[in-house]
Amino acid sequence: MDTRTPQALLARAARHDVWNPEEDDALVCLDVQQESHDVKTFTFASPDGKRFAFKAGQYFLFDLEHNGEPESRCYSISSSPHRTNAFSVTVKRVPGGKISNWLHDTLVPGASVKANGPLGHFVRPEASKPKLLLLSGGSGITPVMSILRELADSCEPADVVFMHAARTPQDLIFRDELACIARRLKGLRLHFLPETVAGEASWPGLTGRISADYVRLAVPDIAERMVMCCGPAPFMAAARSISAELGVPAAHYLEESFDAAVIDEPEIPAIQEAAAKVFQVTFSKQARSIEVTGDQSVLSCAKKTGVRIPSSCANGVCGTCKSKLTSGTVDMNHNGGIRQKEIDAGFFLPCCSKPLSDLVIER
């Protein structure tokens, strides 16, 4: 019998320990599901049949190889944490996207990948079970879908508004499943907001972009809710502004983002720049040296000068930019994206590190 078949892996998962990336980071793809015209869900299991322990809203950092080059990407878990034998991530094909397109075109059941996780703090507060507003735009639906699936699986009482925005009705990921959950999960109100009705002229609801007027009508008690938001940067900026305008306290607004854009830091006034100490940072493999002041992160300056460092969250959570520091010291304030044993081995996160001396980095 092939012990790597989905049936064998699922049977073994029920009687094994929890999967731990420090012991074994290997995963096996169990299934690939086409969700929409440009979105697929990939389901993974442990080759040793171990169970997965994660919180709804967390993500995995995948270590992949593309054309012989190592690449790391963060993908939010879209499945329910109550289903411990495996987990799923849902990935949108992006025009020109190197890794998302590679996954869509190449990854098949039986393939092996490496990953680290679960990671991230985009989770429901544990102290209480507040009323929720789950806001998502496009493929940002994945972590909030995990939260909703957890609520549905647990059958716990819920007071949830789920609002999902997309370009067209055909781009509404999990549309049929969400409608099914809404029919059986008491306390769930579902709102779809496509920007246009392209491809579905008979769309019965509203269209357009998220606005204060729309949210005020759809969620009149928003100020009493914990708002959890994930989506493209412009969508989240609008959601953040609208939530504040409608009375949501800052402590009750939580968002998740994996934008890998160039990090914008405030310009240092000339009088401060003259006083700030400047350090030489050398990237040994790229034979590049740049100047970084003690007030700037290594990653932000590297990106602005064209030095290549893979990155994702840019705030010390995901670990994508993890690099080997061969010389010098830094002030690093991470948020769980690196383990102590890695720090002891000389690794650091450029995204949340400021130089304390000249540096030599093995990149």
Chain segment 202-252, per-residue pLDDT in tens: 898 899 999 999 999 999 999 999 999 999 888 999 999 999 999 999 999
Share of the chain above pLDDT 70, in %: 88
Q: Report in angstroms the alpha-carbon separations of 243 from 227, 233, 250.
A: 8, 15, 9
CB-based contact 117:210 (threshold 8 Å):
no
Q: What is the average pLDDT value for the chain, to the nearest integer?
A: 86
| Average pLDDT of the residues in 153-172 | 92
Tokens linked to 339: 């383990």
DSSP-H helix ranges across the chain: 6-13, 98-106, 141-154, 175-184, 212-218, 233-245, 270-275, 298-304, 340-344
Give tens-digit pLDDT for 285-305: 999 999 999 888 999 898 888
Band (130; pLDDT cuts 50, 70, 90)? confident
What pLDDT does 250 receive?
92
Map residue 331 onto helix, strand or coil.
strand
260: how many CB neighbours lie within 10 A of its CB?
A: 17
What pLDDT does 76 receive?
92
Give tens-digit pLDDT for 63-122: 887 777 777 788 999 999 999 999 999 999 988 788 889 999 999 999 999 988 898 889
Order across the sheet with 359-361: list the strands.
288-293, 278-283, 359-361, 323-327, 347-348
Residues in the chain: 363
For 10-48, b/e burial (b = at least 16 CB within 10 A) is eebbeeeeebebeeebebbbbeeeebbebbbbbbbbbbb
pTM of the model: 0.74
